[in-house]
Each structure stands twice: as structure tokens, then as C-alpha cells.
Chains A and B, each alone.
Chain A
Amino acid sequence: MSMAVLVCTGASMLAAAAAFILDIVGRKQRSGPATAFSVASIAALTLSIGLRTLLLGRFPLTSGADFLQLFCWLILAIHVFLRMKKSGDEGYSLPIVVLLQLVLFVFMPEQLTQKQALPLALMSPLLGVHVFTAALAYAFFAVAAGMAAVLILRKEAGKRKAIIRLVKVGFACLTFTIILGAVWAEEAWGSYWSWDPKETWALITWLIYAILLHRSDAYSEKKLCALVAAGFCASVFTLFGVSFLLPGLHSYAK
């Protein structure tokens, strides 16, 4: 059942991305199909997350696949919200969502059917808030990266402020994630900060976006986009690279 939902999700995301590519290739700007397929993807992802919740008896947040589903859901929700507000998101974040879904399909499909007991250290009400704010922060960064691509590839002006605003919201969310993580680490491991690779890379991501926010008025559009891209790469490495390449206290989050 969950596999069928996963296939539907992937198909609707692919359709959304295809509609978006047709959008940018074609001369006429028709955002309707891409947005409609994005909404369909959100519905399919909601169903998939709901099924996982029923299977586990709690909101699914601990495995890599669970996080990816939530991450994709949030990117799509931000994309649709900005589309509705006509705040300039052209949908360049849709290919990112398709890539993330592909990672889920290829590397971790079995995780969606597994029923794992929660490790003792994770049995805390802070789990939900910490993971959710992290996913939200990275989702804002992903949409900002998509917009930066628009700025570079299509040389469209007027996106600068929107990108900075997205980064600002993402930065605030990431700050909350780090603070909540520190409070939780103190409760569970007896230390606010252990220089664990996941913590360190979250801090690196935070520092990159801090540079951007400190110099946002002074940087040219190219420099701004380069920093947004660097920040997003650091986010992706924090999410996936660290879990596989640099084992540490967060190793259960594969």
C-alpha cells in the first residue's frame, strides 16, 4: 500500500517537474499545470506520511526516508504558498523535490515499510519540534536555491528580496533547530554541544547563511546566488552526507 502511494507521489512530482520544464521551455508562462501537480504531490505525500503514522503509532520522523518525505512535503507546500501569493517562486525547487524523491526510491524504499522501535534517547517531546524545524529550515533554503537558479539562468530581476526573505526565515528556523537540539542534547547526552559531525555541519550551514545575511545589501546578484547555492549544498551534506560519511551521535538518522 505505502509502496503504491510512493509510486503515485513520485509520478505526480515528476509530472509537476515536467510541467515546470515545459513552462520554462515554452514561451507562454502557464504555471497552472505545475502548481496542480504540486498540489497532487502534496496530497499523495500526506497520504504516505499518514500511512506511516498509522504503521508506527507516532508521527514518522526518525529514519532518513521519513525525514525526506517531510522535507519534500514542506518544499512543495512553500512552493504552492508562494505561487498563490505570487511571490515569485517559478518552481525551480520542483526538480530538487524530484531528485530527493529519486534518492528515496533508490536508496531507502525499504525504510518506508519498516517498523522500528524508537531508541530510548529519542523518546522526548523535543524530537518532533527539533526535526520539524530542521526540515522547515532546509525547505526554505531549498526554495531559495531554486529562486537563485531563476535569477542566474533566466537573469530575472526582482527576486533578490524574495531570496533574502526566504533565507532569513530559514535562518531563524535553523537557529531554533540548533537551540532545541542543544537543549535536547543536554537532557539526553549530558552535553549541549559535542562537536558531533551533524551538529558541526548544521553550524557550518548556519555560518554560510550568516555571511549572506551580513552582506546581503553589498553582494552582487551572482555572489548572492553563489552563497545561496553553497548554503544549500552544506544543507544537503548536513542531511545526507554526514549520515553516511561522518558517523557520530546522529547515526540513527540514516
Chain B
Amino acid sequence: MTLKKLLRHLLSMRFTAALLGLDALLLIAGTFLGSQTPFAPLMFWSLLLCLALCMSRQVFALLRVKGRISPYRFGVLVFHMGIALVMIGAMINERQGYKRAVWLSETEPIDAIAEGMDVGAERIELEGIEMDYDESGALTRCDILLRAGAQRTTVHASSPGRLTDVKIYYGEQTNAYALAISEGDAREERIAYDGDILTLADGEMELYRFLPYYQPEDNRAFDLLGGSEHVLYLWGEQGTNREQPGIVPVGGTASPREGVSVEFTRRIPYVSLIFKYDPGLPVTGLGGAMLAIGALLFLFRKGNEKK
């Protein structure tokens, strides 16, 4: 095969369609085999090659057109350039950006999120969490108030906040529980988290958060406690006494076993946040806009198509 023939074959629509088909097959295999497959790089490069070929062909086609350039042809070129820019933006993010998940409590500010992350060289503090619920108990608003020096930002579940160049996303809201555990004369202060298993001197005890809005069928227990929002759900020793959990409101004490008392001193709000620096965003955004414009121009008839 001569070089000219090879070039013609590589620049043909047939080859492009074959690459697109290969990508589709790799993706189908990927969804069933899992994303961490060797197919991913192959797919990426075949799509990139496909784009390069399509764009070069479109540029040649535009240069060859005599007279007015049709919106359709222009749209096709803009569309392919848009995909290329989105991929370039993604590559910039991959190489220069970062993304970290961080847990932050009201009592523990953090100094640095990760190496190289700049949020004004200030400690980041969780100022508070504001939540609203509807009549059925479903969470309708969760605002996380953050502070770094003089800067303040609010992170919502559906819209991120920002401190300098770093975007901050809502991850998850949960609680930690300050407990005072007494066994005989010994008294110990502990911080526990949802689902933690508290290990006592001679056994284990499970600790759960009990929020009535997550378990409306358990409203009876909620009512008994006078509508307290945060109560602990303490189970007895594993495998025993599971049917009769101790329910402890803030400030209350439970005795899951003889000689042991657990005082629930206070609730500590905790949030998981995602800190993200995205230097490729302008390129990706431009690519997305070009994709949209190109898709709109697709709706025009082809230049050579008779109306």
C-alpha cells in the first residue's frame, strides 16, 4: 500500500466510523467489566485519533469549498474542535489540578488540605451547618458555612462554594458524638462516629446514630423522648439484647451493661467536603460552548443538500 493510499484510508469516513465503533464496543465492555480496565487508554487514544482525522478532513473540506461556507460544514468543524478542547481541558486538570476529600468538624479546623493547595494560607474552619426538613422529615436544605481568615463561603448540596481558586463541594453531613464512659471508678472521654463499635474493657458495644427522620417507623421512640432531634441508639453487647436498645438524648445517660454507664455529652457536627482545583475549566468550558454551538449548526441542511 502506498503512502498516499494509506493516508487516504486513514482520512476516510470508513476508518473514522470504525474507530467510533471500536470506542462504543470498548465502552460497552467497560460498563460490565468495571472502569479499571486496560480498555480506557485505548479508547481515549482512538477517540483522539478519530477527532484529529475528522478535524483535518473538515479543514481540508472547508478550504476546498468555493464561495460561501455552509453553516452545516462550519458547525461540524466547530463541534469537533469543541470535543478536542473538552479533552484538552480534562488532560490539563489531570496533570495540574487536584481533588481531595476532607473531613471537617466544628471543633477541628484544618491548616492545609493537601500539598500545593492554596486557600489564602489560612486555617479553614467549619462555622456551622444549617439544615431544614419538610413535614415528612426529608432534608430540604443543608448549608455548610466555612471560613478561611476573612473569607467566608457557603457550600450547598447542589451548588459549590469557593475559597480563592479552590472550589468546595458538599460531600456528606454526619455527626460525631462526645461520650463519657464510666466503668467502675474509671471515666473516659471518647469521640465516636456513626456506626462505630465502642470497645469496652471486656467486650464490645455498637453505637448508632438515631435520627427519626431517617427511620419514621420508629417514631414511637422519638415521641417518648419529647422530640429531641439527636439521640444515640446504643445496642447491647454484640449478639445480645439487640431488641432493646438504649436510647439516649443529649445530656442523658444509658447503662448498656451492669457497671457501665455511657453519658452522651454533646453532638459534634461533621462534614465531608471535596476541595477541587480545576485549572482546565476555561478550556473545558470553551469546548462545551463550541460543542453546543456546533450541535445547533448541525440542524442546518448540508450545503449540497437540495431543499
Q: How far is the CB of B163 from chain A (nearest CB, A)?
A: 14
Does B49 touch A at the CB level, under 8 Å?
A: no
Interface residue from B13, B136, B141, B295 paired with A176 (Cβ < 8 Å): B295
- CB pair A176–B292 under 8 Å, yes or no, is yes
Does A172 touch B at the CB level, under 8 Å?
A: yes
Q: Number of residues in B with C-beta < 8 Å to the partner? A: 43
14 A-B pairs in the complex with CB atoms less than 8 angstroms apart: A168-B298, A171-B298, A172-B298, A175-B79, A190-B99, A190-B167, A190-B274, A191-B99, A195-B30, A200-B27, A200-B31, A203-B27, A204-B27, A214-B54
Of listed A124, A189, A192, A246, residue having the most chain B CB within 10 A = A192
Complex CA–CA separation, A88 to B158 (angstroms)? 44
- CB pair B17–A214 under 8 Å, yes or no, is yes
- CB pair B142–A182 under 8 Å, yes or no, is no
Q: Which residues of B contact A192 (CB under 8 A)?
A: 90, 284
CB under 8 Å from chain B, chain A span 183-233: 183, 187-193, 195, 197, 200-201, 203-204, 207-208, 210-211, 214-215, 218
Q: Which residues of A contact B30 (CB under 8 A)?
A: 195, 200
Contact A120/B27 with A190-B169, A207-B20 known, Cβ cut-off 8 Å: no
Does B276 touch A at the CB level, under 8 Å?
A: yes
Q: How far is the CB of A116 from chain B (nearest CB, A)?
A: 8
Does A122 touch B at the CB level, under 8 Å?
A: yes
Task: List chain A positions with a Cβ less than 8 A from chain B.
Answer: 117, 120-124, 168-169, 171-172, 175-176, 179, 182-183, 187-193, 195, 197, 200-201, 203-204, 207-208, 210-211, 214-215, 218, 246
Interchain pairs with CB closer than 8 A, number: 92
Does B154 touch A at the CB level, under 8 Å?
A: no
Complex CA–CA separation, A109 to B35 (angstroms)? 34
- CB pair A188–B288 under 8 Å, yes or no, is no
Task: List chain B positions with a Cβ less than 8 A from chain A.
Answer: 13-14, 16-17, 20-21, 23-24, 27-28, 30-32, 35, 54, 79, 90, 99, 134, 136, 138-142, 156-160, 167, 169-170, 274, 276, 284, 288, 291-292, 295-296, 298-299
Q: How far is the CB of A118 from chain B (nearest CB, A)?
A: 8
- CB pair A204–B160 under 8 Å, yes or no, is no
Interface residue from A121, A175, A179, A211 paired with B21 (Cβ < 8 Å): A211
Q: How far is the CB of A37 from chain B (nearest CB, A)?
A: 30
- CB pair A204–B24 under 8 Å, yes or no, is yes
Complex CA–CA separation, A120 to B99 (angstroms)? 22
Q: Which residues of B contact A200 (CB under 8 A)?
A: 27, 30-31
- CB pair B31–A187 under 8 Å, yes or no, is no
- Smallest CB gap from A179: residue in B: B288
Of listed B20, B31, B156, B169, residue having the most chain A CB within 10 A = B31
Interface residue from B21, B27, B32, B276 paired with A190 (Cβ < 8 Å): B276
Q: Which residues of B contact A189 (CB under 8 A)?
A: 169
Complex CA–CA separation, A120 to B169 (angstroms)? 13
